[in-house]
Amino acid sequence: MTCLAACGGGESPPAAPAVPVVLSADSIPLRALAQQAGIRIGSAGDRGFRWTGTDGSNFRAILSREFSVLTPENDMKFDHVHPAPTTYYFAGADSLVTFAQQNQMSVRGHTLVWHQQLPSWVNSAASAQSALVDHITTVVGHFKGKLLAWDVVNEAFNDDGTRRSTYWSDHIGPSYIELAFRTARAADPDVPLFYNDYNIEGLGSKSDSVYAMVKDFLARGVPINGVGLQSHFVVNGVPSTLGANIARFVALGIKVHITELDVRVPTPSTSVSLAAQAQNYHDVVAACIQVKGCELVTMWGFTDKDSWVPGTFPGFGEALPWDAFFQQKPAFHSVYDALAGR
């Protein structure tokens, strides 16, 4: 096995400044309010760590002040850490772990098995099962003892609740999901293991299928500890059954994380759309707080400057609580109020 950048390291990003460049208008950081409310608050990010100058300082200052959990947006995905059959590259992901440790944050691993962002070599692997097991064993083993949780399998279902056809399902069969969880548990006996997907936030065919899978896994001793609800919403699209769905998963004896929250609006935004967006953020955070067993709300980034939304949903954007100039939007204050119990 070849390990690039010394396998276990790489240059770490600078720690956040002792006095943040951009302070919240409200005096208590979101992370402190979240702790008081019994949950954690997180953000995704990796591209921002390569910024220099004022933007980079602002990014790191807000991230470290407001959030207690960091999810690598890309730097732990298959193509980033395993670019060739016997080559692993951990420098980018390790730098995020170092930043988190420097700023009293936890890191949530994302993601081990997905049908996207696979390196080209996987398609010609002699054995898909061997490739999968080697990847999970090496990556989970590398980060053993350092992470809050792992998204083990990502987006394995279609919207109608059927299993998605992917490289892994086509070459291994539907058992690849169980194999992934068992392999991850063997590599780290302690880290919580999650299934993560979109459009499973409310009650419906897709969430029913995930619920049935989790229930079956628990009955047969397959190691699964939680479900991640991605929560990429269009404004006014938060399902009314979000709280009920969280509760039924928790009733199985597992945990729930809101893993990738953003609320996109038609661009340019208006005061009306931003007010609706703020209410949506409030409702999601409040729903998590209200169900013991929902442990975390993570936003998929925090600034519109660095959001995936405009490139994926033409005509939509401005999906996060800070604007592209690092100014707080109504959504920030609604999250603050939800965490404060208002």
Angle between helices 176-187 and 205-220 (to 10 degrees): 50
Cβ atoms within 10 Å of 6's Cβ, excluding its own: 10
Where do we find the tokens 């058992």?
Answer: 175
Q: Is 201 a catalytic residue?
A: no
Helix 30-37 / helix 330-339 crossing angle, nearest 10 deg: 30
Q: Tokens 């056809």 label which residue? A: 165
- Host H or E run for residue 259: strand 255-266
DSSP codes of every residue in 72-139: -SSTTSHHHH-SBTTEEE-HHHHHHHHHHHHTT-EEEEEEEE-SSS--GGGGG-S-HHHHHHHHHHHH
Chain centre distance of CA 117: 16
3-state secondary structure of 142: helix
For residue 292, the tally of other CB atoms under 10 A from its CB is: 10
Q: What is the pairing mode between strands 255-266 and 316-317?
A: antiparallel
Q: Which of 66, 73, 155, 295 is catalytic?
A: 155
Residue with the two structure tokens 């949530």 = 108
The three-state secondary structure class of 38 is coil
Angle (CA) 69-73-75 rounded to 5° is 105
Query: Rounded to an integer, what distance in angstroms lies between the CA atom of residue 43 and that of residue 39?
Result: 14
Q: Closest Cα to residue 283, out of 314, 237, 316? A: 237
Measuring CA to CA, which residue among 28, 5, 169 is closest to residue 98? 5
Q: Are 100 and 88 in contact (CB under 8 A)?
A: no
- Among the listed residues 66, 73, 201, 260, the single catalytic one is 260
Q: Catalytic positions, please?
A: 155, 260
